[in-house]
Amino acid sequence: MIDYLAEAKALFTYTQSMRRDFHIHPELGFHEVRTGGIVAKELESLGLEVTKGIGKTGVVGLLEGTKPGPTLLIRFDMDALPISEDTGAEYTSQNQGVMHACGHDGHTAIGLTVAKILQKHRNELAGTVKFCFQPSEEGYNGEEMGGAQMMIRDGVLDGPKVDNTLSLHLWNEKPLGWIGVAKGPVMAGAEQFTIKLTGKGGHGAAPHLTIDPIAAAAQVINALQTVTSRNVAPLQAAVVSVTTVHSGTAFNVIPQEAELTGTIRTFDPAVRQKVLERFDQIARGVAETMGCKAEVNVQRVTPAVINDDAVAARVQQTARTLLPEAALDTAPYMTMGAEDMAFMQEKVPGCYFFIGSNNKEKHLDYGHHHPKFDFDEEALMRGAALMASAAADILK
């Protein structure tokens, strides 16, 4: 029996130094040149077959076991966010305005650690592990699609054909020690929308001669609140958030146009369908009632991340054996955040799990995407141990 936790512990200094190096030098989506370069070099030094440039800055490494078997893709995202770091940590970002505020520096370090562990036990591996270091999870960043989609376009799921996927996220919503491995939906599907309202501009003192798009926008925003409160069943999950409102140039001018943008989140395809329908009807209908024309544009960002029951059950079993003292949580766990791993799990059965990483005593409990976000690095060890042992188990 391989003691994966002990192996991850023995490699902790390596994992931590990698994580801190990535943290000091964060790179935005599709610009992970330095990060990807280090990843490729590390994987090559282990003797893996490495391909660069899959999804622009993505890196893929193949580790073949000595026995034949299926192919498992394990994915780690590498990108940082356009945030100015305010943690005061000794490893603070040296790239002004860019910060690893979601923990992807930790994911990349975990991936390299898993590669070391599995390479050492290659003789016991049945099948192939495809290490997938993905760029731009956080968005398109000026490209026509995000990192996961671009890697799929470039063939990451073929040659060899991927049978299952595993991926993880360090999770500051939960304390160090908590491990969340759930069946079914875990991350919401996301859409982004724009509503452009066109009225008729004029003098602020003569509203009766205008069609005021600001008054119409206010009604539309209010009415949209009823999509989730009146059209979605109380035990179902959905979010409709208007997040930007833009209109007007002067205090005495009624403008011609108003523009709203925002996001819609859902899990269930039927709920999504209903929400999109009502969203469109309300935006157009209310705008029309107010005399305005509405252009409504809704674009899908990602589908929901749905874990495969059988793959999730295997990971739960692994976690129970590996970390008997850990607070393994197998209850349904759904967050309204989005994650582009959904595109891979839409094509291949997989499991996306969470590693609790906050530590209130050490003040490491700010939320993801906060300028003070940081996590307890001990979570890296648990993440690496669970990913390595779950990978080996699934290939068994």
- Residues assigned a catalytic role: 79, 137
Rounded to 5 degrees, φ, ψ at 328 are -70, 125
Q: At what angle do helices 378-395 and 104-120 cross, to 10 degrees?
A: 50
Whether 389 contacts 353, CB under 8 Å: no
Q: How far is the CB of 158 from Ni ion (least distance, A)?
A: 26
Q: How far is the CB of 56 from Ni ion (least distance, A)?
A: 18
Whether 164 contacts 73, CB under 8 Å: yes
User: Which residue's structure tokens are 């035990």?
Assistant: 235
User: Which residue's structure tokens are 């069609």?
Assistant: 211
Q: How far is the CB of 109 from Ni ion (least distance, A)?
A: 14
| CA–CA dist 91, 34 (Å, integer) | 17
Nearer to Ni ion, 102 or 290 (CB): 102
Rounded to 5 degrees, φ, ψ at 318 are -60, -45
Nearer to Ni ion, 113 or 335 (CB): 335
3-state helix, strand, coil in the chain (%, to 5): 35, 30, 35
Element spanning 283, H or E: helix 269-289
Q: How far is the CB of 169 from Ni ion (least distance, A)?
A: 6
Nearer to Ni ion, 103 or 255 (CB): 103
Q: Are strands 164-175 and 350-358 parallel, antiparallel or unpaired?
A: parallel
Q: Bridge-partner residues for 302, per DSSP?
A: 190
| CA–CA dist 361, 365 (Å, integer) | 9
Nearer to Ni ion, 107 or 183 (CB): 107
State which of positions 195-224 bind Ni ion (CB under 5 A): none
Q: How far is the CB of 305 from Ni ion (least distance, A)?
A: 12
Q: Is 202 exposed, middle or buried (0-12, 13-18, 19+ CB in 10 A)?
A: middle
**Could you give the C-alpha distances from 292 to 197, 229, 281, 307, in angstroms and in order?**
6, 25, 14, 43
Nearer to Ni ion, 111 or 199 (CB): 111
Q: How far is the CB of 22 from Ni ion (least distance, A)?
A: 14
| Three-point CA angle 142, 111, 125, nearest 5° | 130
Whether 342 contacts 307, CB under 8 Å: no
Q: What does the per-residue mask of binding to Ni ion show for 50-89, with x meaning CB under 5 A?
A: ----------------------------------------
Three state DSSP letters for 186-241: EECEEEEEEEEEECECEECCCHHHCECHHHHHHHHHHHHHHHHHHCCCCCCCEEEE
Q: Bridge-partner residues for 192, per DSSP?
A: 263, 299
Name the residue with the smallest CB distance to Ni ion. Answer: 102
| CA–CA dist 375, 172 (Å, integer) | 7
Q: How far is the CB of 374 from Ni ion (least distance, A)?
A: 14
Q: How far is the CB of 256 from Ni ion (least distance, A)?
A: 39
Q: What does the per-residue mask of binding to Ni ion show for 82-111, with x meaning CB under 5 A?
A: --------------------x---------
| CA–CA dist 313, 228 (Å, integer) | 32
Question: How many chain residues are in contact with Ni ion, going by CB under 5 A?
Answer: 1
Chain residues in the site for Ni ion (CB under 5 A): 102
